[in-house]
Amino acid sequence: MELKKDSNAVSIDMLLIVHSEKRRTAQGTHSDRQADPGAPPQRRGGLQSIGNGIRKWQKFEENDLYGNLAEKQLPQQTQVITSYDNQGTQLTVEVHPQDAMPQLLKKFSLAKRLQGDKNGNTRPRQPGGKDTHAYPWDRSSLKSMPLDLRQFEKLDTYASQVTVKSGLDELVNDLLQEAHSDLERVRAIWIWICHHIEYDIKAAQEKDRQAFKLTDILRTQKTNCDGYAGLFEKMCRIAGVQCMTVPGYSKGFGYQTGQSFSGEFDHAWNAVYLEGRWHLVDSTWGSGLVDTTTSKFTFLYNEFYFLTHPALFIEDHFPDNKNWQLLKPPQSLRQFENNMYHKSEFYNKGMLSAHPETSVIRTVNGKATITMESCAPTLFMFMLNGKQEHGLLSLRKNGMKLDIYPPTMGTHKLQIFAKGNSDIYSSVLEYTLKCNYVDLGVRLPAELHQPIGPSWFSEQMGILKPSHPDPIIHTSDGRCSITFGVEEGISVLASLHGDDDLITEETQRRYIFQLHREKRTELKVQLPRAGKFALKIFVKKRQEPGNYIFVFNYLLCCSNTKVNWPMFPESFGNWGQDNELLEPLSGVLPANRNVPFKLKLHGVAKALVKGQDTWPLTLNSEGYWEGSCSTAGCQEVYVMVLENANHNFYSYILKYKVNDQ
């Protein structure tokens, strides 16, 4: 059989027509394949959720998309079966009534078969070289054409508020009142569908569900992916814009990392012709999400799937015809299966790349390292098996680095979240970690929150030029001193956290002594034992109410088992930020000793030390208050000050404990 050839024709590698007398055998074979208990379970796709077989999509195409809205079906319906081998070769088999015109002949000789609609539209041309974009993504834009989304603000508001009055033609006519170009017409249709059509989860789960009719979609405002795609195409055609429905595989709801795709297609989307090129849209995924726990749909507009750059669209959409990838070079099905899957939020949050580029990571010596690059400074967090533990996440100017240490051997789920320009962290990437070795020496404190180490964020919060830019501090004697600048009007608070009972909620600040010198803050830290500790840094604007805000933490490490430093003295509210304590730094004093004191106190008229008796401190020429006191016969020692010489009321500023005799 010879088919007419022209520039828009589709080449056919093989055409197999099975006549009606063979139909029983063919159907039996197909039914056996579906009932095979060893066959892979049906995938779920659609709204990044439950999918629909391509057969139903084709039935919808034949009944609704080409203007034949007949409600009665022929006694013997055409059946189309499509399959692929591992090399991507397509084999399509059609079973049809003996006297009927084969649909494949209609479909494949169709460059201009489609009857003109009311606007004179004809069958759109197939994509060609001028429609393709380079693969991999060049980072130029998330869109396949230059767009300023601000130009759509008025149109988006208008289109989202249009209501259905009667039929589809009138709806499209109303939508186009504020649209003055093909791009704006497509945008108005896209916005209306994404804000009004709900994903019908129940219907999508029905095994033998009939295809949606456009009138039913408008009436119920519910459908599945083929309904979304069919409605979008029909509305574009009414608007005079060329549009195609594209079936294929998707990495939607229910997708498992590394899974293979075969058999029925599980999704459908659209290609739309604008400014001389084909572009891709997915109104199903643009409309919202299905909650994995409740299986309920939620409207949640996603701009990403409007005119998506093809090199990004291919990450979760694989069309039945490779030409609709709009890529040069096109990707194979195996590449689609094996390539790293970046969620739309990965790009919505401004991410550019992630390494490793494989979804399954094997640890090396119990450790895995992930880095991400973003187009702007971004806050990140992670969860390993649902908990923010066993990892060190440090922020970079444009990205982050994460070292992860799985606590046990086996398989682990790692999720990475990014904040972007919003106040909400969104999951942007998932990895599967394979761990065959656990380094018991790398046990991180449970209270080690993210991020670790100073960064652009700590600078933004008023902590400047830290003495220790690295997030991990090693100390051989269990002591360290950390300094940094502090912006005017910023208060700093620090606390120490370990994984034992030595540091309690009451004492977590007693192993840190905070000093201020010439716009710099010093944190003197003494560790109660060897091990790993989280040193948390908080800030707050002095003039504003509310709590301190966590900024970052250091990881302090000490391997010296002889370390056994006591707490610093307890300070009270009248201990001024600019005061300085030189001695004694230990919060526990020896019994029956004369202990020297030396402090720098500002705005003080008198100072004294009170134990069993009272010992005054004197102000020397260098501006320090000096003196000593005896610890005999007392359990506690206080430093007290008189701020106003005309008053007799002394305030407590420091408290020491005295060792038992």
Q: Which residues pair with 361 in a beta bridge?
A: 433
Class of domain 456-558: mainly beta
Q: How far is CA 294 from CA 44, 297, 298, in A?
A: 15, 9, 11
Nearest CA among 223, 190, 206 for reference residue 60: 223
Mean pLDDT in residue range 632-639: 93
| Token reading at 206 | 């029905």
Q: Is the predicted pLDDT of residue 107 greater than 70, yes or no?
A: no
347-435: CATH homologous superfamily?
Immunoglobulins (2.60.40.10)
Residue of 282, 412, 480, 497 with catalytic role: 282
Q: How confident is the model at residue 421 (pLDDT cuts 50, 70, 90)?
A: confident
Is 267 labeled as catalytic in the residue annotation?
A: yes
Q: How confident is the model at residue 407 (pLDDT cuts 50, 70, 90)?
A: very high
| Token reading at 114 | 């489609």
**Contact present, 650 and 605 (Cβ < 8 Å):** no
Report domain extents, the chain.
149-335, 347-435, 456-558, 570-658
- Weakest-pLDDT range from 39-43, 76-80, 542-546: 39-43
Q: How confident is the model at residue 296 (pLDDT cuts 50, 70, 90)?
A: confident
Q: How confident is the model at residue 609 (pLDDT cuts 50, 70, 90)?
A: very high
Mean pLDDT in residue range 406-426: 93
Residue of 133, 267, 317, 412 with catalytic role: 267
| Token reading at 43 | 């995938």
- Weakest-pLDDT range from 105-109, 238-242, 283-287, 295-299: 105-109
Residue of 96, 196, 225, 279 with catalytic role: 225
Q: How far is CA 501 from CA 211, 388, 497, in A?
A: 65, 21, 10
Is 225 labeled as catalytic in the residue annotation?
A: yes
Question: What is the phi-psi region of residue 509: left when phi exceeds 0, alpha when psi lies from -120 to 50, beta otherwise?
Answer: alpha
Convert the pLDDT of each residue in 206-239 to its tens digit: 765 566 789 999 999 999 999 999 999 999 999 9
Convert the pLDDT of each residue in 122-138 to its tens digit: 567 889 999 999 999 99
What is the structure's pLDDT at 534? Answer: 95
Mean pLDDT in residue range 70-80: 44
Nearest CA among 119, 107, 131 for reference residue 273: 131
How many percent of the chain have pLDDT more than 90? 64
Is 236 labeled as catalytic in the residue annotation?
A: no
Class of domain 149-335: alpha beta
Length of the chain equals 661
- Residues 6 or more apart whose CB falls under 8 angstroms from that of 181 comprise none
Domains 149-335 and 570-658 share a fold: no
- Residues 6 or more apart whose CB falls under 8 angstroms from that of 368 comprise 361, 362, 403, 404, 406, 414, 431, 433, 435
What is the structure's pLDDT at 60? Answer: 38
| Cα–Cα distance measured from residue 655 to residue 569, given in angstroms and rounded to the nearest whole number | 6
Q: How confident is the model at residue 108 (pLDDT cuts 50, 70, 90)?
A: very low
Report whether the peptide linkage leading into residue 124 is cis, meaning its omega lies within 30 degrees of zero: no
What is the structure's pLDDT at 514? Answer: 87
**Contact present, 354 and 370 (Cβ < 8 Å):** yes
| Cα–Cα distance measured from residue 344 to residue 305, given in angstroms and rounded to the nearest whole number | 8
Nearest CA among 104, 50, 11, 95 for reference residue 322: 11
| Amino acid code (one letter) for 470 | D
- Residues 6 or more apart whose CB falls under 8 angstroms from that of 506 comprise none
- Weakest-pLDDT range from 122-126, 186-190, 608-612, 619-623: 122-126
How many percent of the chain have pLDDT more than 70? 80
First CA to last CA distance, the chain: 110
What is the structure's pLDDT at 295? Answer: 80
Q: Which residues pair with 541 in a beta bridge?
A: 490
Mean pLDDT in residue range 472-496: 94
pTM of the model: 0.76
Q: How far is CA 187 from CA 124, 236, 646, in A?
A: 19, 10, 77
Nearest CA among 194, 195, 397, 161 for reference residue 305: 194
Q: How far is CA 620 from CA 595, 601, 623, 638, in A?
A: 18, 12, 6, 21
| Cα–Cα distance measured from residue 362 to residue 376, given in angstroms and rounded to the nearest whole number | 29
3-class secondary-structure state, position 254? coil
570-658 has CATH 3.80.30.20 classification: no
Q: Is the predicted pLDDT of residue 110 greater than 90, yes or no?
A: no
| Token reading at 522 | 């010093």
What is the structure's pLDDT at 543? Answer: 86
Highest mean pLDDT among 40-49, 350-359, 572-581: 350-359
Parallel, antiparallel or unpaired: strands 90-95 and 16-18: parallel
In eight-state DSSP terms, residue 63 is I
Convert the pLDDT of each residue in 447-482 to its tens digit: 999 999 999 999 999 999 999 999 999 999 999 999
What is the structure's pLDDT at 204? Answer: 74
Nearest CA among 30, 213, 212, 17 for reference residue 106: 17
Q: Is the predicted pLDDT of residue 493 greater than 80, yes or no?
A: yes
